[in-house]
Structure 1
Amino acid sequence: MNILLTLQMAADAEPDRVALVCDGRCWSYGALLNAARGAALHIMESGCAHVALLDESSEAAPIALFAAAIAGVPYVPLNYRLADADLSALLARIAPACVIGDAARVSRLNPDRGHAVLSRADFVAAAERSANPASGEEREGEGIAAQIFTSGTTAAPKAALLRHANLLSYILGTVEFASASEDEAALVCVPPYHIAGIAALLSSIYAMRRIVMLPAFEPDAWLKLAAKERASNAFVVPTMLSRIIARMDAGAQADLSALKAIAYGGGRMPLELVERALQLFPGTDFTNAYGLTETSSTIALLGPEDHRAAQQSAEPEIRARLGSVGRPLPTVELEIRDDEGRPLPAGERGEIYVRGEQVSGEYRERKALDADGWFPTRDAGWLDRDGYLFLAGRADDVIVRGGENISPGEIEDVLLSHPAIADAAAVGVPSVEWGEAVGVAIVIRPDHVAPNDEELRTLIRGRLRSSRSPERIAVLASLPYNEMGKLLRREVRALFG
């Protein structure tokens, strides 16, 4: 099995149908497949062991992804935002590679590694020159479709491996072939080096939904492109949605009447933000998608009907589901386990374990699956009585105060209920008495006064146990997030010394 199947089926069905729009240029399914075949010839002739992309989103991303599949080598999208030292280390780990994108930077950082380096324009031109509809029988290689470097915290990034079988299992299990009408368009603005970017390409191509690429996210550019291309579908991370809503609340105008569905994920979505989005887009279906690189993207979904039921319900338990990530996909098994690896009942917090064909759980350095095929996600969470999954942060984000495990998420939820607080983060801080205590950082809404420390402690003690009361409190202009909307807790911890 090979992910090229998704593009081949689309090109065989309707070769002249528009597959991709980027910077004003349109690519048909047939043209995209031929370009991938042409690029594959160049890759095979280079003798490189990897195909790397160091660039913003463009037509080079799908061409490189499928060309690598044909050539039988892993596709390795690299984070162009990394510091030089970190990027140089990753380039050294994949040498020799065919690297597409920032040619000058690659040549400066790794001049002696044997990389074959091409700018985006040169790569696309070479692919078109070599395009041949009859060429490009895919090679099996190692069976690895993509190698994605996970974001490291203190250790070097791990090289997560996604095999063709993993990615195809996800696509074939969640997307119906050619299910999109010709006027449907998916606005893709997530970075190409994230699993969400790869999943967006594969799922849209298999559904035959036109892909509209926004190379770099900016809210006004997103609104303009969504209106111009009549986008029917979009995927955003929480920080993106927050900025889009802020612009619309500030008076930005755009015709989004074609927007039928918005999927979001990649980070914590504040409940208030979800509710505001539902108000602004009453005719749009919202889906919360939870997944990881190692699981080939989504493993749980809170669908449109779940959103509506939670929004309209007066029952606290059902309304709370608006803050969940929904229920596991039918093709995935999911359990909550304690520190000893024992399954926990509904309502109890523990680590999330998953199993299924789309779950890789494999790194270049090692395999992380247990003997029965379960993958420990290192995410903490719990299931309610009907199987809805609630996240409680990373398992290693747990604050251990005097031997008691405290979830940052429960403290943050209480803080965000205060009308003056726009954002909040709870972390473990050093404590002589307890080993670790609770520290919180908050962001104040415009035109609001920051509550004093005792007011915040009283708020938390009124809803949670006294052990959750923060020992240290900081007021910040903003919290640190990465480009996918994930809170950088290590940077918050560093603020407290």
Structure 2
Amino acid sequence: MILEMAASAYGPREALTDANGERTSFEQWHRRASQGASWLVDRGTTNVAYLGLNGSMLPTVMFSCALAGVPFTPLNFRLSDEQLRDHLEALGSPLLISDPRYLAKFGSRDQAIGSDEWLHQITEMNPLLDKQIEDDATAVVLFTSGTTSRPKGVRLRHENLVNYVLQTVEFGSADESDATLTTVPPYHVAAIGAVISNLYAGRRVVYLPDFRADEWLRVARDEAVTNAMVVPTMLSRIVDELGDQDAELPQLRGLAYGGAKVSQRVLKKALQKFPTADFVNAYGLTETSSTIALLGPQDHRDALQSGDPDALARLGSVGRPVPGIEVEIRDTDDNPLPTGTQGLIWVRGPQVSGEYTEQGSVLDDSGWFPTKDGGYLDKAGYLFVLGRLDDTIIRGGENIAPHEIESVLLDHNEVREAAVVGVSDDEWGQRIVAVVVLTEAARTTEEELTDFVRTRLRSSKTPDQFILATELPYSATGKLLRRELVNNLTTTPSVH
């Protein structure tokens, strides 16, 4: 429905721009997807997996599957061969449409075709335009990142994704000259959300398959990008790349960030370097079809200009729920907690799936989904996310949220990145270890960092050990890989 509406309304306008310069209009996109759907139906395909980089192939295959009523799963091309085979097996041996560079991973697999060959074959097909698809049919399956547990397949139905778009985007709201720069990988829910939300708005999507700060800035200038979405690590590297210079992107009107905690120091610098851009912080999960809360442009301006301490504190929040989403904070017995009290974040709304391919639905009887994130709501309804409950450090019987310590460390002028984890300890149960990446000109010491934290938090939350690192392990979507970090510390605790 969304693609048909967009093709009818925007027709020859450019919709997709690839890194190699290939450009696709809305009507071309619709025709290719319809031909792809016909090809899938002719072959009796029941399930499709996609393996490739960011680019116009992603939305083409995705909407071919949608029009054919076939579940679509983009896979993580960074996984090992064994992990990819496990995912394919979990999906029930789907047809694999793959970038040719990855086909060799699967040997003589019958159910596999190169994406270039697939594009060639579908050009001979008559478009499929009249197949009826049920609202509750599976549209997309996404595997979670597995940063704290084994990856799970999240089932997103057509009704989840359509409700997300209808509640958060106004149809035709983009100007013909508008363009968004997307760098998130195709297997992340943000990439799926970017496709359907920008399609509905009528905004051109410019793809950058591999992020580099200098390349991001170049493409943003060359393509006159008006909107972009980055994860905090990307934003930090863009700010570093700019140095003392402003971005000089006067056409950039909107810059969204999300996926992990961002340093307020980096955020304040970014606000200065992109003076024409409205900043938005977005919070969402795979199970919620992307964004469920937003900290809007006015919130960012108020934080910097009003001097109100509450407004400034809200820079550390993810804003308020988007239309159609309810948020509730509960204790460990599932009882609702009052405003300002920390607990587990639960969410409810028509875009929330909360459903897994193997486990089924985990929604409670009233349709609420447990995010497994800790947090609280302030008196104005702003949501503060304190990180995964799985990450909680238990030191001497006290529960300590790593997020709280990390936020303090990131306010230090010489700390670029920080991660706080718990490591087994015979006396305390766990000791607090802070792994920090310093700026190039840093001269700070472990003693100075200890004092910096202790003056802002009570002594029991001060790290027992600091380790200086050159980098931290992140997923491609900017999420800290805590399990990998803890494993490294356990096996090589003395490595700096």
- TM-score normalised by the chain length of structure 1: 0.94
Answering whether residue 204 of structure 2 is matched by residue 206 of structure 1, we say: no
Answering whether residue 114 of structure 2 is matched by residue 119 of structure 1, we say: yes
SS class of match (1:129):
coil
Aligned partner of 1:14: which letter? Answer: Y
Answering whether residue 385 of structure 2 is matched by residue 388 of structure 1, we say: no
Offset of residue 154 of structure 1? 6.4
Structure 1 vs Structure 2: percent identity of aligned residues? Answer: 46
Answering whether residue 223 of structure 2 is matched by residue 229 of structure 1, we say: yes
SS class of match (1:414):
helix
C-alpha separation in 1, matches of 2:147 and 2:204: 36
Contact 1:92–1:110 under 8 Å retained in 2: no
Residue 341 to residue 111, structure 1, CA distance change in 2 (3 Å): farther
The one of 413, 416, 423 aligned to 1:429: 423
C-alpha separation in 2, matches of 1:319 and 1:105: 47
C-alpha separation in 1, matches of 2:147 and 2:191: 22
Answering whether residue 5 of structure 2 is matched by residue 6 of structure 1, we say: no
The one of 60, 66, 69 aligned to 2:66: 69
Contact 2:264–2:411 under 8 Å retained in 1: no
Note the 1:142-161 alignment, pairs <5 A.
143-153=137-147, 155-161=149-155
The one of 289, 301, 304 aligned to 2:294: 301
Offset of residue 240 of structure 1? 1.5
The one of 24, 38, 41 aligned to 2:38: 41
Residue 288 to residue 104, structure 1, CA distance change in 2 (3 Å): closer
SS class of match (1:422):
strand
Aligned partner of 1:171: which letter? Answer: V
Gaps of 5+ in 1: none
Answering whether residue 463 of structure 2 is matched by residue 470 of structure 1, we say: yes
Contact 2:314–2:382 under 8 Å retained in 1: yes
Hey, what does 1:92 align to over in structure 2? 89
C-alpha separation in 2, matches of 1:334 and 1:438: 31
CA offset digits 1:260-291 (Å, max 9, x no partner): 11111111111111101100011110100000
Hey, what does 1:181 align to over in structure 2? 175
Number of positions where the alignment pairs a residue of Structure 1 with one of Structure 2: 488
Aligned partner of 1:167: which letter? Answer: L
Residue 305 to residue 155, structure 1, CA distance change in 2 (3 Å): closer
Answering whether residue 318 of structure 2 is matched by residue 325 of structure 1, we say: yes
Note the 1:7-406 alignment, pairs <5 A.
7-22=3-18, 23-103=20-100, 105-106=102-103, 108-109=105-106, 111-112=108-109, 114-115=110-111, 117-132=112-127, 135-140=129-134, 143-153=137-147, 155-249=149-243, 256-365=249-358, 366-406=360-400
SS class of match (1:376):
strand
C-alpha separation in 2, matches of 1:120 and 1:161: 24
Offset of residue 138 of structure 1? 4.2
SS class of match (2:361):
coil
C-alpha separation in 1, matches of 2:449 and 2:294: 33
SS class of match (2:238):
helix
Residue 463 to residue 143, structure 1, CA distance change in 2 (3 Å): same
C-alpha separation in 1, matches of 2:65 and 2:455: 56
Contact 1:311–1:322 under 8 Å retained in 2: no
Contact 2:51–2:102 under 8 Å retained in 1: no
Offset of residue 103 of structure 1? 4.3
Hey, what does 1:496 align to over in structure 2? 489
Offset of residue 69 of structure 1? 0.8
C-alpha separation in 2, matches of 1:449 and 1:298: 39
SS class of match (2:24):
strand
C-alpha separation in 1, matches of 2:231 and 2:130: 36
Aligned partner of 1:151: which letter? Answer: S
Residue 154 to residue 143, structure 1, CA distance change in 2 (3 Å): same
Pick which of 43-52 and 389-398 moved more. 43-52
Hey, what does 2:474 align to over in structure 1? 481
Answering whether residue 413 of structure 2 is matched by residue 416 of structure 1, we say: no
SS class of match (1:211):
strand
SS class of match (1:191):
coil
- TM-score normalised by the chain length of structure 2: 0.94
Aligned partner of 1:469: which letter? Answer: T
Pick which of 390-399 and 151-160 moved more. 151-160
Contact 1:37–1:127 under 8 Å retained in 2: no
Contact 1:227–1:254 under 8 Å retained in 2: no
Aligned partner of 1:308: which letter? Answer: R
Contact 1:232–1:258 under 8 Å retained in 2: yes
Aligned partner of 2:385: which letter? Answer: L
C-alpha separation in 2, matches of 1:488 and 1:220: 25
Residue 127 to residue 138, structure 1, CA distance change in 2 (3 Å): farther
Pick which of 395-404 and 158-167 moved more. 395-404
CA offset digits 1:347-388 (Å, max 9, x no partner): 221111000000000001121111111100011111222111
Aligned partner of 2:368: which letter? Answer: W
Contact 2:148–2:483 under 8 Å retained in 1: no
Hey, what does 2:494 align to over in structure 1? none
C-alpha separation in 2, matches of 1:14 and 1:456: 55
Residue 275 to residue 141, structure 1, CA distance change in 2 (3 Å): closer
Computed over aligned residues only, the root mean square deviation of the Cα atoms, in angstroms, reads: 1.9
Offset of residue 81 of structure 1? 0.6
Pick which of 479-488 and 119-128 moved more. 119-128
